[in-house]
Structure 1
Amino acid sequence: MNKIIPTTEEAMAFIKDGSTLVVGGFGLCGIPEHLIAAVKNSGASNLTVVSNNCGVDDFGLGQLLENKQISKMVASYVGENKRFEQQFLNGELEVELVPQGTLAERLRAGGAGIPAFYTATGVDTPVAEGKEEKTFDGKRYIMERGIVGDVALVKAWKADPFGNLVYRKTSRNFNPLVAAAGKVTIVEVEELVDLGELDPDQIHTPGIYVQHIFVGDSFEKRIERRTVATVEGGNGQ
């Protein structure tokens, strides 16, 4: 039952050319930075990546664009990455933009074994193009498919050897949904604790969803965009 792997390279054995990756994080918060770097170093290509966004040019998922490893990106927001923009405009990158709540629900549905669901979000917009539509109680809905990845890459704060996970504050974001939506789920964790140390009532992702755990030794935790305000009448910021 011990799911610990010693290196990120060992985790890369599950990622092949053409794999679909579902990846946790929101902006640069709660991203599995070591695992993403390992994917870059692995050279795996023609990847479909599902995540809230694609990081920035030199950090997070944006690193995978450097070697053109991503062929399709499914995301809610893509505005912080110039290389992403250029590859899209050049026709080198396929992009599927999904409303953020719909993306979250597609991942949740995939993890729950639900193949599809109906939502009113996107009706009468380009999001609805080519999708089945039905009317319920006089209101129009479009069908969205659940998402299941070949591999899920997740960032957690604490884990025990069985793979029970606890996330820290806002880094929880998409990670629990992603953890359930992978056929193989690999977790990058900051702290490994002994069995029984985690309060069962505080576990966010049960170990049943997790196949492998990597314990990182350092984390950059970069701030995506630092915004400061000048205090009126003061000298500081």
Structure 2
Amino acid sequence: MPSLIKAACLQSIFRIFIMLGEHLFYKEITMASAHIEHKLSLLPDLPGSYQMKDINGKIIYVGKAKNLKNRVRSYFKSSHDGKVAAMVSQVADFDFIVTSTDKEAFLLEITLIQKYQPYYNIKLKKGTGYPYIKITHERDPKIEITGTIRKDGGYYFGPYPNVYAAQETMHFIQKVYPLRRCNGYQGRPWLGIITWVSVWVPASGLFRKRIHGPN
């Protein structure tokens, strides 16, 4: 009889712990939801970058948006599946940085991804390689996008989170410093008069290197 009473008491205790655990879990989720709701109410209708954080405050995803309010709210107000659903389930908080233009938001996104290497930006990307911008070590320097770093004397910038990011940065560099983009020797000295190239690339910091001088 005492053993039956003991077993019944233990069962009751276990039930209490289970009930408390469920209550505490529900309370934690409710508090997190209330916190998210408050942060969502602060979002502006402006471009910028947002950073999703897990329960430990670690940044797990970085994104950009033309309209921060609409973009960030869509994560919590719409249904998702796959990787997005997995990411949202881990979000306990988020921060955002407002920018003046979409272009600034894009560059900021690249910079933050390179700095924090968020799990859902890097680890779950399709494919295994990440693009780099390469300036070849030739008489007529060429600029191109590549997925492989080789010991060929070239100058590599990156990695970038995706090809689009690398292309946008390369186009910007090309506008400022028109490096060669076609293959083969040009048959005459490169017409560019650049002696020193000083380019700030978000993914790599400041790069300053002499790539072509006067003959």
Same fold (TM > 0.5): no
Query: Comparing both chains, which one has the higher relative contact order based on Cα–Cα distances under 8 Å and sequence gaps of 6 or more?
Result: 1
**Structure possessing the higher radius of gyration over alpha carbons:** 2
Q: Could you tell me the TM-score, scaled by structure 1's length? A: 0.21
Structure with more of its chain in helix, by fraction: 2
Give the TM-score, by structure 2 length.
0.23
